[in-house]
Amino acid sequence: MNVQIDSLNSRNSQILAFDGRAIRDRGDMLSLTDMWKAGGSDPQQAPAKWRALPTTKSFVEHVEVTIGKSDTELFKVQNGGKSPGTFAHWQIALAYAKYLSPEFHVWCNTVVRERMEGGSASIHPAAPAPSSSAHCAREARLSYNHYMKMARMMKIEGNQAVISASNAVKSTVGIDMMAAMGVTHLIAPSDNAVMNATVIGRELGKGARDVNIDLTRLGYQTAFRDSKGHLVYEPTAKGKVAGGYMADTGKRHSNGTPVRQLMWTTQTLEALRAELQMEKA
């Protein structure tokens, strides 16, 4: 691997070049697009995908606080023109280099750092980088843990949380974790059939409206209206014990948030049936 800095006799500056590929700089900023090309141009490691990762966002927020610059000052995106691409503050560029490959990171950490501090450097090629699959797996793991925490904050639990987090990782990192692990389906926590208020009503000889009244009255769920006046139900602690949970319907509201519906199980049906019978006794 030919790792070097090529000289340019212009205003006492130098062209940064990794393995013969030039990496443009603008003051204290480096071209992430050039770095990506020098690192192999893997579509899954493109600057835009990297910026969307939770770990990247967290790091950028830390840089903002540390050096006192905003996101718009740390990143510059140029579309079109003679030199399009994404530029970022050199400290962020170092983090991106680490994401691309260990070898590239070692080079940037030595050459770029000295360049930005007013010096110049060259280093010998680093040892061969390990398979990028290990790096991608780490990114997927960190992202999955992040989305699982978000799921808990949104009160998404069980298999629904696993599926939601896995879908988010696939969307941002590009790795289908369940497929990679050979998981084709998730085993339900019990043999209980999933049902909504309408199905429970059929079993009890009632309409869905009456079932919701009973479920609310007996403490299985809470009822409130959202900002648009729509009636919304959520399971209480008692309802969750009886098998209630919020499920993603696969639809989205106009603001992009997922549409969720309260679902029940056979366990809920039997618990509700028993309480209603006790009231009649």
Q: Which letter, b or e, does each residue of 128-153 get, where b requires 16 or more Cβ atoms within 10 Å of its Cβ? A: ebeebeebbeebbebbbebbbeebee
Q: What is the mean pLDDT of each run of 10 residues along the chain (281 residues)?
A: 36 62 86 89 90 88 81 86 84 89 83 68 38 64 78 74 78 76 61 83 93 93 85 90 82 72 89 87 66
pLDDT of residue 198: 93
Whether 126 and 103 have beta carbons less than 8 Å apart is answered as: yes
The pLDDT value given to residue 2: 41
Structure confidence at residue 122 (pLDDT):
38
Residue 9, pLDDT score: 32
Question: Do residues 24 and 41 make contact, with C-beta atoms less than 8 angstroms apart?
Answer: no
Strand partners of residue 261: 247
What pLDDT sits at residue 216? 93
Which residue intervals of 79-181 are DSSP H helices?
90-100, 102-107, 113-116, 132-153, 158-172, 177-180
pLDDT at 236 (0 to 100): 92
Alpha carbon dihedral 61, 65, 71, 74, in 10-degree steps, equals: -110
What ranges do the domains of the chain cover? 3-126, 134-180, 194-280
Q: What is the DSSP string of 196-246?
A: -HHHHHHHHT--HHHHHHHHHHTTSEEEEE-TTS-EEEEE-HHHHHTT-EE
Taking the CB of residue 92, how many other CB atoms lie within 10 A of it? 21
CATH numeric code, 3-126? 3.10.260
Please tell me the predicted confidence (pLDDT) of residue 219. 92
Question: How many Å apart are CA 29 and CA 159, to the nearest integer?
Answer: 43
